[in-house]
C-alpha cells in the first residue's frame, strides 16, 4: 500500500532507488508508532454503539473477549480502552493479553510439539529458511535486471502467527470452540488469522479501510447498532 501510494504521488526526489525498501520500512514503523499513540490518546473516543453492544452481550450471556496482543503496545492500548469504558462495563469483558496467550492450552500444545520434534524440527526450519533465502536472492536479482522494485517476503509473517495464538487463547477464555466464536476485526491481518483458524469474522470498516476489500470475511459493516452490528444479529446468524 505504501509503495502504491508513492508510485501515485511520486517518491522523494532525493531518494535513491536502492533506498526505497528501507524508506518504506521507516514509513511503516513511524505509522505504527503514530497509530499506537493515537489509540492511547485521550482525544480518541469509543466507536458509537460499542457500549450498548457490550451491555447487550452481557444481558444475553454472550462472552465478549478483547484481544490486546495484536501489537507491541497492546497492554497500553487496553488500559486506554478500560479507562474509556469504565470499570463497571469492563467487568463484563474478558481481556486476553500476552500473559493469557502464553498460559493458553493451545500455546502450550504448540510448544510441546515443537520440543518433542527435537532436532528434526530444527533441521526442517533451517531448510525452509535456506530455501526462502535463496528464493529471495533470485527474485532480487531478477528485479534488478528488470529494474523493478518488488516487495518480497518469503517467510511466514510473525504477526499472523501471533494473531492465531491470540484467537485460540480468546476462544479458550470464552469457553467456546473456535468455530462458535466471531472475530470483530478491523484489519486484513485479523481477517487472515480468523480464516486460518476457522473462526467466523465480521469486519467493521473505518476511515482507514473504507476502500479495502475483505473477501474472506463473513460480513462487512460500518459500525455498531442500528442497521449494522448488533448482538441479536450475531445470535440469529449463529442459529441460522
pLDDT score at 183: 92
Q: Is 215 within the bounds of a domain?
A: yes
Q: Is 54 within the bounds of a domain?
A: yes
Domain count, the chain: 1
Q: Give me 99's grid cell.
A: 500473559
pLDDT digits (tens, 9 = 90+) for 153-201: 333 445 788 888 889 999 999 999 999 899 998 888 889 999 999 999 9
Q: How many CA atoms lie within 13 A of 227 on its CB side?
A: 1
pLDDT digits (tens, 9 = 90+) for 156-168: 445 788 888 889 9
When mean pLDDT is compared across 4-8, 55-59, 114-118, the lowest value belongs to 114-118
* pLDDT of 224 above 80: yes
* pLDDT of 146 above 70: no
Q: Is 4 within the bounds of a domain?
A: no
When the pLDDT of each residue in the chain is averaged and rounded to a whole number, the result is 76
pLDDT digits (tens, 9 = 90+) for 73-126: 666 666 677 778 888 888 888 888 888 888 888 877 766 655 555 555 565 566
Q: Is 74 within the bounds of a domain?
A: yes
Q: Is 81 within the bounds of a domain?
A: yes
Q: Is 71 within the bounds of a domain?
A: yes
Q: The domain spanning residue 79 has which CATH number?
A: 3.40.50.1000
Report the alpha-carbon distance of residue 33 to residue 72 in Å, rounded: 10
Q: Is 118 within the bounds of a domain?
A: no
Range of the domain at 208: 48-105+157-239
CA proximity to 192, closest of 167, 173, 227, 221: 167
Q: Is 124 within the bounds of a domain?
A: no
Work out the percent of the chain whose per-residue pLDDT is above 90: 14
* pLDDT of 237 above 80: no
Residues in contact with 136: Cβ distance below 8 Å, sequence separation at least 6, in sequence order? 152, 154
Amino acid at each position: 500500500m505504501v509503495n502504491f501510494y508513492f508510485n501515485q504521488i511520486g517518491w522523494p526526489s532525493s531518494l535513491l532507488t536502492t533506498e526505497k525498501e528501507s524508506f518504506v520500512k521507516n514509513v511503516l514503523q513511524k505509522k505504527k508508532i503514530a497509530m499506537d499513540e493515537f489509540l492511547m490518546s485521550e482525544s480518541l473516543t469509543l466507536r458509537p454503539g460499542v457500549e450498548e453492544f457490550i451491555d447487550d452481550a452481557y444481558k444475553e450471556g454472550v462472552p465478549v473477549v478483547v484481544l490486546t496482543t495484536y501489537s507491541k503496545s497492546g497492554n497500553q492500548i487496553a488500559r486506554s480502552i478500560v479507562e474509556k469504558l469504565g470499570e463497571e462495563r469492563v467487568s463484563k469483558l474478558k481481556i486476553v493479553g500476552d500473559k493469557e496467550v502464553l498460559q493458553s492450552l493451545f500455546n502450550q500444545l504448540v510448544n510441546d510439539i515443537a520440543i518433542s520434534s527435537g532436532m528434526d524440527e530444527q533441521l526442517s526450519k533451517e531448510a525452509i529458511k535456506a530455501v526462502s533465502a535463496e528464493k529471495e536472492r533470485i527474485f532480487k536479482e531478477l528485479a534488478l535486471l528488470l529494474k523493478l522494485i518488488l516487495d518480497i517476503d518469503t517467510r511466514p509473517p510473525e504477526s499472523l502467527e501471533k494473531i492465531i495464538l491470540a484467537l485460540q487463547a480468546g476462544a479458550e477464555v470464552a469457553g467456546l470452540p473456535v468455530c462458535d466464536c466471531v472475530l470483530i476485526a478491523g484489519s486484513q491481518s485479523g481477517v487472515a488469522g480468523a480464516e486460518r483458524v476457522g473462526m467466523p469474522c465480521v469486519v467493521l470498516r473505518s476511515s482507514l479501510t473504507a476502500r479495502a476489500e475483505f473477501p474472506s470475511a463473513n460480513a462487512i459493516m460500518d459500525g455498531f447498532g442500528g442497521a449494522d452490528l448488533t448482538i441479536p444479529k450475531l445470535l440469529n446468524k449463529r442459529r441460522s
